[in-house]
Structure 1
Amino acid sequence: MEIAELSDLLVWAAATALAVAMIAFAVDLGRRTDERVGARTQERAVVGAGPTTSVTADAPVGAEPRRRAAGIAMSTTWLATAMLLAAIVLRGLAAGRAPWANMYEFTMVGSFIALVVFLVLNLRRDVRFLGAFVTGLATLFLVVGLNSFHVAATGVQPALQNYWLVLHVGVAIVATGIFTVSFVMSALQLLRDSRDTGSPFLTRPGFRWLDRTPGPTALESMSFRLNAVGFVLWTFTIIGGAIWAEDAWGRYWGWDPKEVWSFVIWVVYAAYLHARTTRGWSGRRAAWFVVVGYACVLFNFTGVNLIFNGKHSYSGIS
């Protein structure tokens, strides 16, 4: 088996492990919701029974239960992330360059960064409620990458044989991974806010799991911090891309479709940060900004590469 084939096999294995993790995270979220409802029922029964009623020590009201499904999910996510890292390293060895020069590699490394962001956040605070969604997106991205974007591990054209391939594209991938996790937070913020304000659809029993997520304000705060970091990295991406363009093509800016949409992304996130910090925009309006920004990120990666012809078309890079 060749190194490139082993890399692809590891990506498939990582996608499978992430699918298992996604299911385990979903099971954990559902069980915690059921246990919370049961705890509330027990509390009401205790209050209504009078002073003679006692609660056994084996089942204290409101106690945090063992989260076996969450433990399995986290372990599987760490395993999948490690396999992805090995796949990325092997891909680079097989190609003899930095392994992020085309759409398949961008998908693979971007999914890895999103998982790393999620895991690092979990080291600081419990954000396992994001697990089902982050691992679900990573699984989707990897499967689409393997089936639709996969290319052989080969060298790159002369224009890409530059250290800016490592810097410019590498920073863009890190920013995209951060934007992915912040998008999940903002999407959950919109759902939680709609449920809290009495949305007829989201107040159904099937959406009780939203009660186990932080409130809209906490989700917005976490998303804002991630977006601020991602915005700084995306700013460097545009600046680095301009410097590389001048070196490779003799101009800093040429209105190439990829350049235009990268700038559109920058404008959307800049407007979001400005509106939230100086104009007092918060809540749903701020969350929709993030959703629109991430939609632009996805279109820049897929639509621009597949629909438009430009100087970036041969590589599929961002």
Structure 2
Amino acid sequence: MPLAAAANENLAHISNVLIYSAMAVYTLAFLAHIAEWVFGSRSAVGRTAAAITTEADKAATGTAAAASAQGGGTAVLERPKVVTRAAAGRRDVPDGPGAAGTSEKGDVYGRIAVSLTVLSFLLHAGSVLTRALSVERAPWGNMYEFSTTFGMTVVGVYLGLLAFKKNVRWLGLPLTTTILLDLGLAVSVLYTESDQLVPALHSYWLWIHVSTAILCGAAFWVGACSTLLFLFRDGYEARLVEGRTGAGLRRYLNELPQDRKYARFKAKLALRTDNPMSRLPSAATLDKLGYRINATVFPLWTFTIIAGAIWAEAAWGRYWGWDPKEVWSFITWVAYACFLHARATAGWKGRKAAYIALAAFGCYIFNYYGVNIFVTGKHSYAGV
């Protein structure tokens, strides 16, 4: 068997420069997303109310105004009694603006953030490509390469959803935060010099098995992020329909006379009752997105495990040997299967199923980092 060619140090250096450049631009995108949320929250009180106020709130406000006009006194609103649906994430609360601004300045920062994310993705992809060209192989032969490719794929999934006009700009802030953490760990702890593969990895299954594992992980990340935000949004909606969101200020606003001279003051004060959760899609929308992504990717994850077993037979002469990586891949599969089964069971929808989905993603993350770093096995060639 001929000796493998040495790595192209020039291309490897360019790859390193590009990954650091991508991290710098990701940081700018992160700051722009923060500015989007900050300035986007300063919306007109009417727009905020349209996103978070239920019909019962509007009816209660109209009744109080009429009572004030007839009695000539100060109207005091009682907490509206709103009938909610039993299942979490199934209340009649509309989608928020989805971090798309709700103010002109917020929207400008959002567009800047997306543009910076696209630029950083191109730099990121260039780094992965030059790393592959430096050794003329797939760019996921060790944990450093797997991490950088994984991060690039996550951003690619996000931009792909944006390209299909999906309301997912709210993912921008957690996305850039996660990618910066992932790349920071990759370049500081997991970094490995560009080199050729160990003999066990010389197989076309490297392209099939690992690429599908990376794609599944990127999709699982989007699903987990949607599920986590569903829990926060669901709690916000529960407080909203019970009248516990901004209760003190809202009560004070309701006690003010229904007079035009107080309108500007009340509008400014009402902005303080705004909650960042009000700008997310509804809990039902987030719950549905997380479920659809996990359900769509689950068959691909099943194929990933089967492909790994076939490769193991070719490399080590057995399909399954209870190696730690194999075991945790199967545990992850079981966890996501439990989530899908829970969603099909009436008593386990909503928050209970969400907890299972997050536990399943936790299994994937441990399989990604924990097994390779802390557990000894045949997959210790991961480069850590």
TM-score (norm 1): 0.88
Give the distance between the partners of 1:240 and 1:78, measured in 2 at CA.
32
Contact 2:287 2:350 in 1 (8 A): yes
Asked if residue 170 in structure 1 is aligned to residue 211 in structure 2, the reply is yes
Asked if residue 308 in structure 1 is aligned to residue 349 in structure 2, the reply is no
Offset of residue 33 of structure 1: 2.0
SS at match of 2:320: coil
Task: Show the counterpart of 2:331.
Answer: 264
Q: How does 1:117-266 map to 2 (within 5 A)?
A: 117-124=157-164, 125-198=166-239, 208-266=275-333
Give the distance between the partners of 1:5 and 1:196, measured in 2 at CA.
50
Deviates more, 1:2-11 or 1:272-281: 272-281
Task: Show the counterpart of 2:359.
Answer: 292
Contact 1:25 1:128 in 2 (8 A): no
- Structure 1: unaligned runs, 5 residues or longer: 49-61
Offset of residue 185 of structure 1: 0.7
SS at match of 1:197: helix
Give the distance between the partners of 2:349 and 2:34, measured in 1 at CA.
29
Superimposed CA distance per residue, residues 30-68 of structure 1 (whole angstroms, 9 cap, x where no aligned partner): 2222215474589x9xx97xxxxxxxxxxxxx9953311
Equivalences, count:
301
Contact 1:102 1:316 in 2 (8 A): yes
Task: Show the counterpart of 2:137.
Answer: 97
Deviates more, 1:263-272 or 1:277-286: 277-286
Deviates more, 1:148-157 or 1:116-125: 116-125
Offset of residue 316 of structure 1: 5.2
1:80 pairs with 110, 113, 120, which one? 120
Give the distance between the partners of 1:165 and 1:289, measured in 2 at CA.
30
Give the distance between the partners of 1:203 and 1:160, measured in 2 at CA.
56
TM-score (norm 2): 0.73
Offset of residue 315 of structure 1: 2.2
Offset of residue 207 of structure 1: 8.0
Offset of residue 230 of structure 1: 2.2
Task: Show the counterpart of 2:10.
Answer: 2
Structure 2 counterpart of 1:305, one-letter code: N
Indicate how the Cα distance of structure 1 residues 96 and 41 shifts in structure 2: closer, same or farther if over 3 A, else same: closer
Larger radius of gyration: 2
- Structure 2: unaligned runs, 5 residues or longer: 1-8, 51-57, 66-96, 247-271
Offset of residue 126 of structure 1: 2.0
SS at match of 1:214: coil
Q: CA RMSD in A?
A: 2.6
